[in-house]
A and B are shown apart, each in its own frame.
Chain A
Amino acid sequence: MALSGGVDSSVAAAELLAAGHEVVGITMRLWGGDSDTGCCSVADVDDARRVAQQLGIDHLVFNFTDDFHAHVVDPYVQAHRDGITPNPCIECNRHLKFHRLSERADLLGFDAVATGHHARIVEHDGVWRVARGHDPQKDQSYVVHMLPQRELARTLFPIGHLTKAEVRERATALRLRTAAKPDSQDVCFITSTGGRTEFLGTRIPFRRASVVDAVDGTVLGEAESLEMITLGQRRGIGLPGGGPKRYVVDIDHATATVRVGDESMLDVDELRVGDMAWSHLPVEGEVRVQCSAHGATQVADARVTGSGVQLAWRSPQRRVAPGQSVVLYDLTDTYVLGGGIAR
């Protein structure tokens, strides 16, 4: 059981015990630098340990900082350098929770790895799928979409059938110290005080960018740091207020040019997705598509292209920033079919 020191994994451990499993709590130490309340601050490890002690299970800390740097932090930094907007939490799930940890668990003789994600795993006719969690507000199927059959068969999400309110109720009933602990927010290695700017600023050189009108190419201004700008962004691009609303509609990294225009210019008919991780077999035809952690899904026609997929929207949709995860669901909007990275 991956214990982060938060309420969800605390209750998940209790649920596993109640279901009769033999449980060992593991906290992964991932990040050694500054953190607000990332997964691995000492205070959170203390909470995880106390919860384990209260539940009467063993608790261990595994040091995966090297892997976290190699698979999450370094690619995060490099992506910004390359003008891509990455999703580090998804890469952490892919490489740490559902690879490094499950590999270690295998080696140590465990039958399954459990986490406190709000998602469910269902099996039908021998095919495993991630399904949305019971609480639509808290559903995390999007961030665990990458699980292949082999992992799905040995992964447990013990609170996927509960709402967040029910999780907190159970934590309170069990008198767990994490019952009222706020949910973790944002990226664990970025502090709220320094933000992304400070984190990236000490790791990569920022380039100045010229901001031009997307229609006629008129230079409108200059932005401080090209690497901090994301598609669809409206503020912080060095334009004076008061004028028409202008959005970043294109970023040309080679020439350090940011093109701005009105919102409709962001609309596109198609979306190309690379590095698809399919839950089972590749799927073509009508699917529902989710492009952000808590975004609504839209219908598209999927066509498999090598390791990726080409999505044709039913109606024009806003462009998705390259690097973001795009997750395909079935038409009932319940089961994950697979997911990849927006190109």
Chain B
Amino acid sequence: MSPFTYLDHAATTPMRAEAVAAMLPYLTERFANPSGSHRFAREARTAVDDAREVVAEVLGCAPGEVVFTSGGTEGDNTAVLGTVARGGGTALCPAAEHHAVLAPVEHVHGVVVGSTAVGTVDLDALAEALRARPDVRVVSVMAVNNEVGSVTDLAAVAAVVRELAPQAALHTDAVQAPCWLDLRTITPLVDLLSLSAHKFGGPKGVGVLVARQGVAYEPMVIGGGQERERRSGTHNVGGIVALAEALRATDVERPTELPRLAALRDRLVDTLVAELPGVHETVPRSHKVAGSAHVCIEGIENEALLFLLDEAGVCASAASACAAGAMEPSHVLAAMGVPRDLGLGALRLTLGRTTTDADVDRGLEAVVEAVHRLRRGRS
């Protein structure tokens, strides 16, 4: 049994064995550059094309709409900055987006609209902003919030955007979605969609940007013209192959994994709430994905809590960390209207395919013990 209890799958999840196996040949004997013109190159090219078809099938789009990138941040940046660079105007996103979207939207002096109490975009605020700003060329709304796990009703978002801003492209940061949602239900609603392989059992440093037929953006990386001139740079062949394999396996497993992980998550949160006074579930479960447990604990500083959990061998998280590695107050909780003091006690426990009953037991024990200890120290 591992001495560590890993409850931070939203940060990254371990690579699937089949994905590692799939990429290894391309790190060793099948090392060629797929843009070359010899047999080794063609072999690598075939692997990239096969991977593209697998990805397209899981996403419910055409293979030609799949662009391989270096990960979620590149996809998000390209969707926002590339669309504005091509079509002019500006960008819009809700306040609870990931910084990979927020930062480029702010970079183009875009519009940031409010979020609801569950961390999804406020549709009325979205409509009002779109009416006021006909210069918006791209709207970016995340599918699943990385901090609190809330799921956006993208059909409702798409309806608002299509009606009020037909000139705007709709992008979704779907980085947190593949383990929990059938992507075939999302892709048809949007023009652009970003994924990152390491969130679903692939390697770090590779991702996908889906750009639907007819959606044009200025590429962020130019040069050799790979990916139909939408993203230059030699293909990360091993990473792409592993991404496709991980996405395929995730898609196959989802129907059985969802109920299993939802039950574990429910037990985790229910027990915390029952055993510790002052524990608030941040988002009702009906609004969020199965693997996400997010609570705010009264009178606790999460920096101290995470230290004690780490000491107990439990890997958890709170909000995002700054460049220096310090915990920052969460902009997501602020956007949801969670009081700052309560937000400082935020704890995110995220489950994934390797999570077991025993992990939940050990996680529970460690959190309860740590909170007791911190509260004793205070009194």
Measured CB to CB, the residues of A under 8 A from B are: 27, 29, 32, 40-42, 45, 49, 60-63, 65, 104, 106-109
Contact = CB atoms under 8 A, between A and B. Distances in A.
A32 B325 CA distance: 12
A61 B324 contact: yes
B304 A107 contact: yes
- Best-buried of A40, A60, A62, A63 by chain B (most CB within 10 Å): A63
Contact of B304 (A29, A45, A65, A104): A104
B303 A63 contact: yes
A282 to B, nearest CB: 31
Nearest to B327: A63
Contacts of A49: 325
20 contacts: A29-B324, A32-B322, A40-B324, A42-B324, A45-B324, A45-B325, A49-B325, A60-B325, A61-B325, A61-B326, A61-B327, A62-B326, A63-B326, A63-B327, A63-B328, A106-B377, A107-B374, A107-B378, A108-B304, A108-B308
Interface residues of B, number: 18
Contacts, number: 43
Given A29-B326, A62-B326, A104-B303, 5 more contacts: A27-B325, A104-B304, A107-B378, A108-B304, A108-B307
Interface in B317-352: 321-328
Contacts of B311: 108
B327 A42 contact: no
Contact of A42 (B301, B323, B328): B323
Contacts of A60: 307, 325
Given A63-B328, A107-B377, A107-B378, A29 B307 contact: no
Contacts of A109: 373
A21 B99 CA distance: 40
A109 B326 CA distance: 20
A140 to B, nearest CB: 24
Contacts of A32: 322
Contacts of A62: 303, 326-327
Contacts of B377: 106-107
B322 A29 contact: yes
Contacts of B303: 62-63, 104
A104 B321 CA distance: 19
Nearest to B308: A108
Contacts of B328: 63
A62 B302 CA distance: 10
Closest 7 CB pairs of A and B: A29-B326, A63-B326, A61-B325, A45-B324, A107-B377, A61-B326, A42-B323
A108 B12 CA distance: 27
A98 B373 CA distance: 22
Nearest to B376: A107
Contacts of B301: 104
Nearest to A64: B326
Nearest to A45: B324
A325 to B, nearest CB: 28
A108 B308 CA distance: 7
Contacts of A61: 321, 324-327
A331 to B, nearest CB: 41
A26 to B, nearest CB: 10
A30 B278 CA distance: 29
B204 to A, nearest CB: 20
Contacts of B324: 27, 29, 40-42, 45, 61
Most chain A CB within a 10 A radius of its CB, from B304, B325, B328, B378 = B325
Interface in B83-105: none
Instruction: Please indicate which of the listed interface residues A32, A40, A107, A109 has the most CB atoms of chain B within 10 Å of its own CB.
Output: A107
Nearest to A62: B303
A106 B307 CA distance: 13
A160 B108 CA distance: 52
A27 B325 CA distance: 9
B55 to A, nearest CB: 36
B287 to A, nearest CB: 29
Q: Which of B303, B308, B328 has the most CB of A within 10 A?
A: B303
Nearest to A103: B377
A221 B321 CA distance: 52
A60 B304 CA distance: 11
A63 B373 CA distance: 21
A28 to B, nearest CB: 8
B234 to A, nearest CB: 30
Contacts of B378: 107
Interface in B169-212: none
